[in-house]
Amino acid sequence: MDFETIKKLKDCCSREAALRVNVYPKWVQAKKMTQEKADEEIRLMRLAAACFNKLLEGKAPEVQKQLFDIKPYEAPKKQSMYDGY
C-alpha cells in the first residue's frame, strides 16, 4: 500500500473519531448506545488513526508494516521427499 493511501486512511479514521466524539453522547443520552460502548468505539477509531500515523512516521514495527505490503502473497514451497536426491 502506498503512503498516499495510508495518509488517506489515517485522515479518514481521525475524521470518524471526531464524528463519534460529537455524535455518540447524543446516542448515549437517547439510550441507543451504552457509555461503555461509545468509549470503546471512539478509542478504537483513535487507535486506528494512531497506527496509520506510526506507519507514516516510519515508527511502526516491521510486522505491522508487512500487514500493509501490497506484494502478492507467495506460499512457501513445499519440500518433496525427493528433494536433495
The whole-number average pLDDT for the span 55-84 is 68
Q: For 33, left (φ over 0), alpha (ψ -120 to 50), or beta?
A: beta
Instruction: Tell me whether residue 47 is in a domain.
Output: yes
Instruction: Tell me whether residue 21 is in a domain.
Output: yes
- In the block, cell 471526531 appears at 18
- Count of domains observed in the chain: 1
Instruction: Tell me whether residue 22 is in a domain.
Output: yes
Instruction: Tell me whether residue 74 is in a domain.
Output: no
The whole-number average pLDDT for the span 3-22 is 95
Instruction: Tell me whether residue 75 is in a domain.
Output: no
Query: Is 3 in contact with 56 (CB distance < 8 Å)?
Result: yes
pLDDT of residue 81: 65
Instruction: Tell me whether residue 78 is in a domain.
Output: no
Per-residue pLDDT for 60 more than 90? no
pLDDT of residue 2: 80
Instruction: Tell me whether residue 79 is in a domain.
Output: no
Query: Is 55 in contact with 65 (CB distance < 8 Å)?
Result: yes
Helix axes 3-29, 35-57, angle to 10 degrees: 170
Residue 42: domain span? 3-67
pLDDT of residue 83: 64
CB atoms inside a 10 Å sphere around CB 55: 19
Query: Is 17 in contact with 42 (CB distance < 8 Å)?
Result: yes
The whole-number average pLDDT for the span 64-85 is 64
Per-residue pLDDT for 71 more than 60? no
Q: pLDDT tens digit string along 14-36? A: 999 999 999 999 999 999 999 99
